[in-house]
Amino acid sequence: MIRKVLIANRGEIAVRIIRSCREMGIGTVAVFSDADRKSLHVRYADEAIHIGPSPSAESYLVKEKIVEAAKRTGADAIHPGYGFLSENADFADLVRSEDIIFIGPQADSIRLMGDKISARTIMTQAGVPVVPGTTGKITGEKEALKVLNSIGLPVMIKASAGGGGKGMRLVYNQKDFLKALNSARSESMAAFGDDAIYIEKYIQSPHHIEFQVLADSHGNVIHLFERECSIQRRHQKIIEETPSPIMTPELRREMGEKAIAAARSVNYEGAGTIEFLVDDNLNYYFLEMNTRLQVEHPITERVTGVDLVKEQIRIAAGKELGYRQEELFQDGHALECRIYAEDPDNNFMPSPGLIRKITEPMGFGVRTDGYVYEGYEIPVYYDPMISKLITWGKTRDEAITRMLRSLEEYYIMGIRTSIDFLKRIMEIPDFVKGKYDTHFIETHEKVLFAPYDDMPLTEDLSMIVAYLEYLEKAKIKTNGVPSQPVSNWKIQNRNQHLVRW
């Protein structure tokens, strides 16, 4: 039995976890830093504990402070969310050593998958195809060159302790190889305190497709189908969808089985994700396993009907999975857009600050997972993601048109956001046709970053009102017709608003 869960996280995911806990009748404890006193997760939790200064290194990342907060509040379990301590095996060990339930896999599973070289070895043994490349760790330059000759150019050099693109080097020419090898090594040492690296054949234009798995402590393992996450920039996902436009029923069955085999090979428990690269000929290769709940989990929830957080909690409490593989199916299509407080017209610079006005999309087939509200000030200290907009449709086309109308409804004033940029993606014919790979943003950058043909009004509707008031106060005659500057403005770059007075 779990009666009280401490959520070792902040932002939208903390809110998301609290919601499932409340529906299960489980008490909740929020932890918060100085900057998060007014965060929604603090308001929604039954109890909240201050854990230190704003920088995460002094609050959300301090294992001992989190465990201490759980002990003080009598929480019997800790949910780590994603990011922060969610894939920290030592944290899982520390939590369990205090007789607190860690809602997640065993520490050994986290360790094995956190080390990408050991993950490749284990997957190979389990019959899961990995990208052609090195087995074990590369020691000397001589060995590396020998490996290079057997794989053939181009190759990717990756850090064993890395993941998500950190410490990666792409090498096209033999003459660049040793330099890249050594810089990858030193970068990995500086970032992770570990200079172990491995080499893979470079897959030119892959799709990033991942499978959601759930495993209980009784040996039951199921998969909840795939998510396609190929639309990314600088290794940050922007749009995810399920089903994948390139998936076939046969491939889905086969990759699903491999995902289950992958989870079994590390005695996995809880919710996890097996990431694959899929090439143009539908060859698939294991890339990494994520041993946590992922940002994009809601699209899987939408098409399968499974509340993944509730399942995580049930599994951690020792219960058997609430679903069998045979009863799961994909109902329709789901899309997720990540909404960031950043400025696409200024190299995606973070744009934290005060939310002056916000209207979020609603209606049939729409879900927003967020944590901001009118009057909330987004802190500078954390990830700039504001919310996730998820739409469902009976078909992919319906999910896309519903996403577009939802993005049109989304109105945020006070900060810059990625909303207009996402609208542009939704209207690119290749995206609508499902024709995209991991190079989509670069391929379409001309269109995506083209200047607006109208002045976009991303600031305040009240500017117009102020201007009209000014005209009135200054007794400027307009004959009831909006004067030039006002009438040319468009709201949200889409809906022409005619203002009369």
Footprint of ligand MV4 (CB under 6 A): 131, 156, 164-165, 200-203, 206, 208, 230, 232, 235, 277, 287-288, 438
Please, are residues 167 and 184 in contact by the beta-carbon 8 Å criterion? yes
Q: Are 433 and 457 in contact (CB under 8 A)?
A: no
- State which residue, 21 or 110, has the beta carbon closest to ligand MV4: 110
Catalytic residue among 16, 292, 302, 416: 292
155 near 148, Cβ under 8 Å? yes
The residue (of 152 and 219) whose beta carbon lies closer to ligand MV4 is 152
- State yes or no: is 292 an active-site residue: yes
Could you tell me the smallest distance in angstroms from the CB atom of residue 421 to ligand MV4? Answer: 17
Shorter beta-carbon distance to ligand MV4: residue 131 or 372: 131
Q: How far is the CB of 291 from ligand MV4 (least distance, A)?
A: 14
**Nearest to ligand MV4 of 285, 421 (CB atom):** 285
Q: Smallest gap, in angstroms, from Cβ of residue 131 to ligand MV4?
A: 4
Beta carbon of residue 264, minimum distance to ligand MV4 (angstroms, whole number): 22
Are the C-beta atoms of 219 and 320 separated by less than 8 Å?
no
**Inter-residue contact 157 to 168 (CB < 8 Å):** yes
Q: Which residues pair with 232 in a beta bridge?
A: 237
Least distance (Å) between residue 322 CB and ligand MV4: 31
- Please give the distance of CA 386 from its chain centroid, rounded to a whole number: 12
The CA distance from 389 to 342, in Å, is: 16
221-233 vs 236-242, strand pairing mode? antiparallel
By C-beta, is 26 or 156 nearer to ligand MV4?
156
Q: Tell me the backbone φ, ψ of residue 252, rounded to 5 degrees.
A: -60, -45
Say which residues have a Cβ less than 8 Å from residue 423's Cβ, sequence separation at least 6: 404, 407, 408, 493, 494
CA 210 from chain centre, in angstroms, equals: 12
Name which of 285 and 410 has its Cβ closer to ligand MV4: 285
The DSSP secondary-structure symbol of 193 reads S
How far apart are the C-alpha atoms of 156 and 77, rounded to whole Å? 40
When the beta carbons of 106 and 438 are compared against ligand MV4, the nearer one is 438
Taking the least distance from each CB to ligand MV4, the nearer of 440 and 489 is 440
Burial 348-362 (b: 16+ CB within 10 A, else e): bebbbeebeebebbe
What is the C-alpha to C-alpha distance for residues 302 and 388, in angstroms, rounded to an integer? 13
Please say whether the beta carbons of 130 and 119 come within 8 A. no
Its sign, for the CA torsion 140, 146, 150, 154, is positive
CB of 341 to ligand MV4, least distance (A): 22
SS3 192: helix
Whole-number minimum distance, CB 2 to ligand MV4, in Å?
33
Q: How far is the CB of 113 from ligand MV4 (least distance, A)?
A: 13
Strand ranges, E, within 299-400: 333-340, 342-343, 349-350, 353-354, 357-359, 366-370, 377-378, 385-393
Token duo for residue 94? 């520390």
Q: Which residues are catalytic?
A: 292
